[in-house]
Amino acid sequence: MDPLFLACSYFRRRKYQQCVDICTQLLEKNPYDQAAWTLKTRALTGQVYVDEVDVDEEGIAEMMDDNVIANCARPGTSLRLPGTGHGVPSQGVRPMSQSGRPLSGFVRPGTQGGRPGTMEQAIRTPRTAHTARPVTSASGRYVRLGTASMLSTPDGPFINLARLNFSKYATRPNLAKALFEYIFHHENDVRNALELAALATEACQFKDWWWKVQLAKCYFRLGMYRDAEKQLKSALKQQEMVDTFLYLCKVCVRLDQPLLAVEIYKQGLEKFPGEITLLAGMARIYEGMNNMDSAVSYYKDVLRFDNMHVEAIACIATHHFYTDQPEVALKFYRRLLQMGVYNAELFNNLGLCCFYAQQYDMTLNCFERALSLGEEQTLSDVWYNIGHVALGIGDMTLAYQCFRLTLANNNDHPEAYNNLGVLELRKGHVDMARAFFQAAYVIAPHMYEPHYNWAALSDQLGDLQSSYNAAKRAVDAFPNHVDSKELLKQLKHHFSLL
């Protein structure tokens, strides 16, 4: 069989390594074989390719940039201050992530880390393997996720970028496109990629929308959002593509203009009605703005066009769960199970839904499945939830053990610390309880519960000053928490008597 044909076949079957091997042999025989060269470039790219649209994580250092125009925009127009949304259950019902946003039903880049207020806080935020944010968007996780530049190749790199004459390649579209993707994805050398793209777009007299989108991708990585925006808009004028709309929205989100992003999604939907990526993007934006009613309605639209969309199902399920409809949530989670999603998280959620829907016979079964499937990180959450169930049925010993197990799996679990504190307090171990509360609120300053518990305990112990401070922190984290406010009022009254 013709080796090149075989290589092509491997490439199509995504057996990139075999493809690369054959191409290497071909190139050894004839170093000027363009077909083999291109194929090898594409195969190497394919090995590490990650879709740019979904890789969106703001690095810690990006906080130093002021890409956002309005520092304090009107509530409901910014992603930075989720503010008061529509149809969101209160913090007391649906827990918040560190960014002040309710927990989402689907883990996406940027949903966990949140955006703490200051640089120092961002750096201090524990950066373990599961909560880490990349240092900058140009380094860190990009290098890990989608590039091979960290891997060492035995006989030097395939293409030596420093020796490449970009203007020669730029005039050959068949080579240039493959080469660009190689530089961008495989080498992760944005600067050279940008140079090549700039030359290539000039070589085709600015008539190829593809190059404009690639330019925009480079600009986006370099943090030059305005230039990216310009290129994308120009590309859209030439050729309307779903990808381009999505990139443009990404830029808008970075500029913190969610309403503009929604506007662009709507424009995209006019051209591509029923495009689920656009609909899902819109739903994510609304979710980010805490506008749950709109978010859920768009997730439902997504399901109308693609009833296998895991993200939509999961988010709707979470919404129902937290709005006190565990039975409905259960229906959605079961749908996920039918579709073949089979993991610890799902069983954990199913278990919780069963518990709240009073199907006790199923509850522990589900959790058992979850435990058998889970890894260390998820196990801690599963144990925590079992502890919760134990609390619900009044089995304090079991609960205590569960929370202990949680900490054994993940010693940074603030909720577990908090609950342990409460349990210790019930047993009368005041000092232990204080230590647990303190541990909880140091790890998770965004949770109001440990602050309030600490304040209430200090108040009882007579340490009014710490009580006052903690109560204030609780109110900061959850402005509408009645008990904290009540406590604060009492303390103020007390102080004024002195």
Partner 1 sequence: MLVPIFTLNFKHKVNPHMVTIGKYDGIHSSLTCATTAGKVFIHNPHNRAERGGLMTFSNEGDLSLLSINQQVSAVCAGKLNPNIQNDILAVGTPTNLLVYDIDKNTDLFYKDTPDGTNAIVIGNLGTIDKPIAIVGGNCSLQGFDQDGNERLWTVTGDNVCSLALVDFNNNGQNQLIVGSEDYDIRVFREDEIIAEMTETETITCLCHMTDSRFGYALSNGTVGVYDRAARFWRIKSKNQAISIHGFDLDSDGVPELITGWSNGKVDARSDRTGEVVFKDNFPNAVAGIVQGDYRHDGTEQLICVSVEGEVRGFNPASDEMRGNLMDTNVEQDTIRELSQRKQNLQMELRNYEENIKAGTAASTILQSRAAAGGGGGGGPVSAEKLFPPGVEYNKTQMGIIPASTQLQTTLTVNEGDETKPPHVELFIATSNDTIVRAILIFAEGIFEGESHVVHPPASSLSNVMKVPIIPPKDVPVDLHIKAFIGYKSSGQYHVFELTRQLPRFSMYAVCDTNTPQPKSSCVFHVSERMQRVLMWLNQNFLLQTDLVAEGGILNVAFMSLRGAGPLMFQMDAAGQITIRTNDMDLAGDIVQALATFLNQEDLQTTVDFPDEMEKLREVLVKVDEYQAVRQKLTAEMADHSNLIRSMVVRAEDARLMGDMHNMRKGYVELYNMNRDLVNGYKIRCNNHQELLSALKQVNQVIQKAGRLRVGKYKTAVINACRAAIKNNNVNALFKIIKTGAA
Residues that bind partner 1 (CB under 8 A): 59-62, 64-74, 77-78, 119-120, 123-124, 135-140, 190-191, 194-195, 198, 218-219, 222-224, 226-227, 229-230, 255-260, 263
* Least gap, CB of 123 to partner 1 (angstroms): 5
Burial, 395: exposed, middle or buried (Cβ in 10 Å; 0-12, 13-18, 19+)? middle
CB contact at 8 A, 336 and 314: yes
Residue closer to partner 1, measured from CB, 119 or 430 = 119
Cβ-contact 261, 252 below 8 angstroms = yes
Q: Is residue 220 a contact partner of residue 197, using CB atoms and an 8 Å limit?
A: no
Shortest approach of partner 1 to residue 181 CB, angstroms?
18
Nearer to partner 1, 204 or 362 (CB): 204
With respect to partner 1, which residue has the nearer C-beta, 46 or 134?
A: 134
Angle at 188 between CA 284 and CA 41, to 5 degrees: 110
Pick between residue 110 and residue 223 the one whose CB is nearest to partner 1.
Answer: 223
8 or 68: CB nearest partner 1? 68
**Angle of CA points 228, 233, 234, to nearest 5°:** 100
Q: Is 486 exposed, middle or buried (0-12, 13-18, 19+ CB in 10 A)?
A: exposed
**CB 263 to partner 1: min, Å:** 7
Q: Which is nearer to partner 1, 248 or 296 (CB)?
A: 248
Residue number with CB closer to partner 1 (79 or 399): 79
The residues near 302 (Cβ < 8 Å, ≥ 6 apart) are 276, 279, 280, 283, 309, 311, 312
Minimum CB distance to partner 1 smaller for 267 or for 466: 267
What residues does 102 pair with on adjacent strands? Answer: 96
Q: What is the DSSP letter of 257?
A: -
DSSP letters, 140-173, are THHHHHH--TTSPPTTS-SS-GGG--HHHHHT-H
CB of 343 to partner 1, least distance (A): 33
* Cα separation values, 309 from 266, 287, 302, 325, Å: 20, 17, 7, 21
To which H or E segment does residue 127 belong?
Answer: none
Q: How far is the CB of 438 from partner 1 (least distance, A)?
A: 20
Residue 88 — φ and ψ, nearest 5°?
A: -95, 130
Map residue 91 onto helix, strand or coil.
coil
Give me 197's structure tokens. Answer: 């793209």
- Smallest CA-to-CA distance from 426 within 457, 448, 450 is with 457
Whole-number minimum distance, CB 262 to partner 1, in Å?
Answer: 9
Of the pair 62, 275, the CB lying nearest partner 1 is at 62
- Considering beta carbons, is residue 194 or 447 the nearer one to partner 1? 194
Q: Which long-range contacts (CB under 8 A, 24 or more apart) does 298-302 make?
A: 302/276
* Minimum CB–partner distance for residue 362 and partner 1 (Å): 46
Q: Give first-to-last CA distance, the chain, whole Å.
A: 95
CB of 67 to partner 1, least distance (A): 8
Q: How far is the CB of 283 from partner 1 (least distance, A)?
A: 19
Least spacing, CB of residue 137 vs partner 1, in Å = 8
- Core vs surface per residue 180-212: b (16+ CB within 10 A) or e: bbbbbbbbbbbebbbbbbbbbbebeeeebbbbb
* Whether the Cβ atoms of residue 444 and residue 450 lie closer than 8 Å to each other: yes
236 versus 276: smaller Cβ distance to partner 1? 236
Q: Where are the alpha helices (DSSP H) in 376-413?
A: 376-393, 396-409
Residue pair 315/101 in contact by the 8 Å Cβ criterion: no
90: which residues sit within 8 A by CB, 6+ positions away?
A: 478, 480
Q: What is the DSSP letter of 54?
A: T
CB of 70 to partner 1, least distance (A): 5
What DSSP designation does 102 have?
Answer: B
Count Cβ atoms below 10 Å from residue 63 Cβ, excluding itself.
17
The minimum distance between CB 315 and partner 1, in angstroms, equals: 24
For residue 221, the minimal CB distance to partner 1 (Å) is 8
Nearer to partner 1, 194 or 246 (CB): 194
- For partner 1, the closer CB: 53 or 224: 224
